[in-house]
């Protein structure tokens, strides 16, 4: 008996009904609305605190180039290409994209092929022994009637964007840490230079006291005091090397290198280098607080995670509705290879199944409640991230404001202490002051100069922290499409 395939009218009717049913379906669950935040009109600490603006940081350039250091630029390139935390975040981003693609595959039917052969004995109309040969195609499709697949794709795309923002946040964090470590290392070089000049001056003072003691003008205690002062300064200078070594090791790890094979040469000695570094502090526009929601990748990551959680509520609610599955198969089944593809051997089937869970002990209700709770937690995390971003900007604006004023006062203190040191030495040579007066003046001068250099370091570190706090030139528009975000991240890595 020959089996003919279904008529075109029947096939078309089934396909049209399925498509119409799928298109008529609605995606259950809430549509996403970005959580609202009470955003202040301006920053509390914003104000004209910096007079000199040698170069401004903006989104059109790599922000670290504003510091004007070629070595720092090279280190940033190495970190972007070789840092393992960035590599890990990049792999997680690719994983998120693959998960989104997997969710999108739910829109399409699954099609498979099979072929087989067998030999069996049957007891129908007597004992029979025979062979069978089969080959065929099978397909099934579950129309997305209730929007479960659409919500899954929505969650996958939002998750991809969240991962892209996380990659940008990881890259910005590594860049900021590298810049701060490098600038602190250069400040340590300034301190080493300061101590080299100071110990040389103390050595001259020791020779002066020894000469004074030899001719009976100075006391033996003056010599001991001068020697103690020199050795103390030498010990403090040695301690700076430990700090520099640790910073150098940290920079090596950030750039993906082992500390054993990494060395940064010290900067050339320059008594005016601290003032030059202070003058080269870049201008960092903080913008408006509302801008921060679009300029910080960690805020974008938190907001996209809210979108993921919102879509998952729809996925959970779709489980309450019946699932429709359409299936079809066709092929050939014959007892002889010679007749395998003959018309009488042709077989086919069409089917539709509707399945609904009647009782699950509250499982679906629990899954929905869990999805809602995850959403609420994501909203709270988003709002806390925004508030934390506001705090970081305010903290660093205030720090830079205070340090700018403090450095002016400290510079005046340095000049006054240097004058006091010169006068004390002159008076000691003239015999009108004790060496204790000289030691006191020299100690004060060293302390003030060291504090001034450290203030420069704190200003540099705070300026980098402010760059990070305002997003480092990043913008959430890069997340408009997952592919665009991937391309933007690849471009940043190349830079």
Q: What are the structural domain ranges in the chain?
A: 1-29+110-143+322-355, 31-108+144-320+361-494
DSSP 56-69: B--TTS-GGGGG--
Q: How far, rounded to the nearest angstrom, does the alpha carbon of residue 86 sit from its chain's CA centroid?
A: 8
CB 482 within 8 A of CB 423: no
The pLDDT value recorded for residue 485 is 42
Distances, alpha carbon 160 to alpha carbons 97, 148, 259, in Å: 5, 18, 35
Residue 388 has φ and ψ, to the nearest 5°, of: -65, -35
Whole-number pLDDT of residue 52: 40
Residue 177's alpha-carbon distances to 113, 182, 250, 310, in angstroms, are 55, 8, 9, 34
Task: Report DSSP state, residue 490.
Answer: H
Q: Which of 30-39, 125-134, 271-280 has the highest mean pLDDT?
A: 30-39
Contacts of 383 (CB under 8 A, 6+ apart): 35, 37
pLDDT for residue 296: 92
User: Helix axis angle, 148-214 relative to 84-104, nearest 10°?
Assistant: 170
| Whether pLDDT at 59 is above 90 | no
**Residues of the chain above pLDDT 90, percent:** 58
- Per-residue pLDDT tens over the stretch 249-268: 999 999 999 999 999 998 87
Distance CA 441, CA 189 (A): 24
User: Is the pLDDT higher at 251 or at 282?
Assistant: 251
**Number of Cβ within a 10 Å radius of residue 270:** 13
- Say how far apart CA 103 and CA 315 lie, in whole Å: 12
Distances from the Cα of 424 to the Cα of 156, 208, 255, angstroms: 74, 13, 49
313: confidence class by pLDDT, cuts 50, 70, 90? very high
Stretch (H or E) spanning 172? helix 148-214
How would DSSP label each residue in 322-374? -EEEEEEEEEEEESSGGGTTSGGGEEEEEEEEEE-----TTHHHHHHHHHHHH
User: How confident is the model at residue 363, as a pLDDT?
Assistant: 93
Q: At what angle do helices 482-494 and 84-104 cross, to 10 degrees?
A: 160
pLDDT in tens, 348-402: 888 888 888 898 899 999 999 999 999 999 999 999 999 999 999 999 999 999 9
Q: Quick one: residue 52, left, alpha or beta (phi over 0 = left, psi -120 to 50 = alpha)? A: beta
Indicate if the pLDDT at residue 63 is higher than 60.
yes
Q: Residue 226: helix, strand or coil by DSSP?
A: helix
Angle at 398 between CA 393 and CA 403, to 5 degrees: 130
Count of beta carbons in the 10 Å neighbourhood of residue 337: 10
CATH of domain 1-29+110-143+322-355: 2.20.200.10
Query: How do residues 428-464 score in pLDDT, each as one tens digit?
Result: 988 888 899 999 999 999 999 999 999 999 999 999 9
Please determine, looking at this structure, whether the domain spanning 31-108+144-320+361-494 carries the CATH number 1.20.1600.10: yes
């Amino acid at each position: 008996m020959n089996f003919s395939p279904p008529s075109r009218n029947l096939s078309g009717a089934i396909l049209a009904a399925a498509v119409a049913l799928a298109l008529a379906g609605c995606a259950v669950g809430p549509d996403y609305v970005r959580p609202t935040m009470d955003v202040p009109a301006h920053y509390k600490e914003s104000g004209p605190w910096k007079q000199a603006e040698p170069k401004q940081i903006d989104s059109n350039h790599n922000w670290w180039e504003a510091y004007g250091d070629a070595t720092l630029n090279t280190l940033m390139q190495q970190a972007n290409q070789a840092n393992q935390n960035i590599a890990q975040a990049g792999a997680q981003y690719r994983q998120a994209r693959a998960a989104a693609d997997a969710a999108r595959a739910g829109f399409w039917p699954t099609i498979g092929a099979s072929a087989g052969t067998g030999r069996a004995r049957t007891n129908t109309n007597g004992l029979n022994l025979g062979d069978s040969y089969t080959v065929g195609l099978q397909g099934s499709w579950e129309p997305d009637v209730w929007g479960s697949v659409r919500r899954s794709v929505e969650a996958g795309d939002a998750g991809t964007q969240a991962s892209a923002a996380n990659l940008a946040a990881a890259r910005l964090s590594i860049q900021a840490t590298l810049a701060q470590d490098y600038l602190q290392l250069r400040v340590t070089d300034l301190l080493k230079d300061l101590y080299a000049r100071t110990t040389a001056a103390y050595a001259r003072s020791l020779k002066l006291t020894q000469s004074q003691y030899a001719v009976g003008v100075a006391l033996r205690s003056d010599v001991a005091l001068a020697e103690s002062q020199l050795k103390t300064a030498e010990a403090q200078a040695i301690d700076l090397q430990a700090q520099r070594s640790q910073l150098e090791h940290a920079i090596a790890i950030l750039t993906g290198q082992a500390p054993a094979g990494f060395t940064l040469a010290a900067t050339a000695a320059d008594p005016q280098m601290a003032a030059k570094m202070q003058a080269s502090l870049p201008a960092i526009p903080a913008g408006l607080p509302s801008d921060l929601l679009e300029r910080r990748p960690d805020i974008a990551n938190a907001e996209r995670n809210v979108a993921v959680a919102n879509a998952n509520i729809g996925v959970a609610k779709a489980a309450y509705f019946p699932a429709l599955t359409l299936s079809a198969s066709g092929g050939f089944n014959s007892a002889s290879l010679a007749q395998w593809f003959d018309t009488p051997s042709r077989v086919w089937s069409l089917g539709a199944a509707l399945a609904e869970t009647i009782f699950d002990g509250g499982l679906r209700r629990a899954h929905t409640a869990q999805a809602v709770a995850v959403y609420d937690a994501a909203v709270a995390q988003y709002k806390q991230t925004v508030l934390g971003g506001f705090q970081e900007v305010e903290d660093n604006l205030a720090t830079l404001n205070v340090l700018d004023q403090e450095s002016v006062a400290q510079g005046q203190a340095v000049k006054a202490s240097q004058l006091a040191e010169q006068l004390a030495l002159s008076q000691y040579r003239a015999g009108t002051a004790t060496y204790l007066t000289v030691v006191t003046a020299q100690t004060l001068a060293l302390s003030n100069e060291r504090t001034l250099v450290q203030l420069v370091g704190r200003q540099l570190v705070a300026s980098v922290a402010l760059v990070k706090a305002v997003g480092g030139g990043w913008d959430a528009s890069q997340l408009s499409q997952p592919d665009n975000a991937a391309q933007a991240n690849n471009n940043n890595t190349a830079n």
